[in-house]
Structures are given as C-alpha cells and as structure tokens.
Amino acid sequence: MKKLVIVFLSVFALASAFLFAAEAIARRYTTNFPLTENPISEKGNWINGGTVGLDWYNVQTNGRMAFGTDNQGSYTDPTAVLAGTWGPDQTAQATVSTVSQTNSLYQEVELRLRTTITAHSITGYEINFRCLPGTASNRYVQIVRWNGPVGNWTELNSTLGPGLKTGDVVKATIIGSTIAAYINGTRVLQATDRTYPTGSPGIGFNYGCNGTYGNFGFTSFTASDGTVSSSVPNPPTHFVISAQGVKPEGTL
C-alpha cells in the first residue's frame, strides 16, 4: 500500500509541475514597428479603427515608430488593436517618442485594453498620457471607457501626472476590474470598472492633431495576457512507473 501511495504522489507531482508551467505561459506580442505601413498590419496582426471601425482613423508606421493619421471629426482617434483572442488580464507597454511639444494641441499617446473594434463601434478601455513636460500645468493621465459609438465615452479617473519625454515607458494593466496606469514603472493612476470582460490590447493617438502626428508616437510596444498559450509545453516523457515509484526510463 505504501508503494502505491508513493507512485500516486510521484505522478501527481509531475502532472502538477506540467500544469503550472502551462499556466505560466501568456500570449505575448512585441514590435518596434520595423515596417512602413498605412494602416499598420504587421502581417495581419492589427485591426484598425478606420479600416474596420469606419468612424475612426487608422494607425500608421514609418519603420521607426507608430503614430496617428490626420483625421476629421471629434473623438475619431486613430486606433489599432491586436487581432486574435486575448485573455482578460492584460498588460500593454510602450516606449514614447515626443518632440516639439505644444500646449495648443492635445497630443496624447494611448494604450488600449480589452478593446473590440467592429463597424461603427469601439468598446473597451483607453489609458492616455498627454505629451507635455513635467513643468506644464495642463499635463494629464486619464483612464477612459469607450462605450461603442464615436464620441460615446466615460472618464473613469484622471490625474495631473509627471509629464512625458522621449524614452519614457508607459504601461497599462487590467486585472479583474482594476485598471492601472504607469510611467517608468511607477503607478500614477488607477480605476475600477467591470463593463467589458474581453477584448484586445492596442494603441491609439488623440484626434485633432493634424500635421503633427509625426511628432509623437510609440517606438516599441509589447502586450501580454494571462492565458495558457496554444504552445503548451509537452508533458514529461520517458518515465516508467514501477513499484518503487516513477523513474526515468533506462534506470534501475
């Protein structure tokens, strides 16, 4: 009986180790925008607000960064999210490029979480950072929920923020119902909302900045979730179950 218990516990330990390794694997996408594309595609990995959403505008790339396209109409932010199915707990992180900052335009870099783009509808969460220095009195960070039709949005929280400069790293996370914004690893804002449980991470840029979109954008972007990847590791093989327990094949 004791030997049978040992065999069971050994098999259980191996199975548990395998499942833990599988659960630790998250879906991940990373890019430094090496292509020149309008709209951004990267071999079909992106869904755009103009091409698919119709009422918004697309994101473009120039081989060095991603940035917005000129647009018309209020709240028609150039927006793009990653294709495919993503788990609900998401992280989006990007490196900022910002030059010729100005108070006269609301130049924002935006991270998207749990966002879905369909014809005439974008739902999900936008975390935006205004591209102004830390000395500007009207700099800000916001967490906003998009409710579907263009112009239909709800501010969940906002703060002054520390400002932005080229090379800063912005990050947004959503875990359960908690949404958080970070700049260079420091949390600067948090909000809670349960409206949208699914969707994709992505990027965007504020509307109304025509002629200056080349002045602010992202030079790199990484997104991940907390789901089991389709590339689940294979279970351990070449083991033999004997009365003495589980041993590698070929051993005594």
* pLDDT at site 244: 52
Whether the per-residue pLDDT at 81 is higher than 60: the answer is: yes
**pLDDT, tens digit (0-9, with 9 covering 90-100), for 164-203:** 999 999 999 999 999 999 999 999 999 999 999 999 999 9
Q: Where are the domains of the chain?
A: 27-227
* CA pair distance 177, 157, nearest whole angstrom: 14
Q: Which of 164, 199, 206 is nearest to 181 (CA)?
A: 164
Instruction: Please give the Cα distance from 108 to 164 (Å, whole number).
Output: 10
Half-sphere exposure of 89 (CA within 13 A, CB side): 8
- Say yes or no to pLDDT of 41 above 60: yes
* Lookup: tokens for 95: 């490196």
Helices and strands (DSSP H and E) totals, the chain? 1, 18
Q: What is the pLDDT of residues 108-151, one digit of tens each?
A: 999 999 999 999 999 999 999 999 999 999 999 999 999 999 99
Portion of the chain with pLDDT greater than 90, in percent: 79
Write down the pTM of the prediction: 0.82
Q: How far apart are CA 97 and CA 23, in angstroms?
A: 35
Report the pLDDT value the prediction gives residue 241, as an integer from 0 to 100. 40
Q: Quick check: helix, strand or coil at residue 111?
A: strand
CA–CA gap between residue 251 and residue 244 (Å, rounded): 12
The pair of structure tokens assigned to 131 is 């591209």
Residue-level pLDDT at 249: 47
Q: Reply yes or no on whether the pLDDT at 77 is more than 60.
A: yes
| Topology of the domain covering 27-227 | Jelly Rolls (2.60.120)
Joined together, the tokens standing for residue 68 give 């917005």
> Per-residue pLDDT averaged across 70-89, rounded?
98
CA 96 – CA 34 distance, rounded (Å): 16
CA distance 209 to 211: 6
Sign of the CA dihedral 240, 246, 251, 252? negative
**Other C-beta atoms lying within 10 Å of the C-beta of residue 40:** 24
Tokens 């089991």 belong to 228
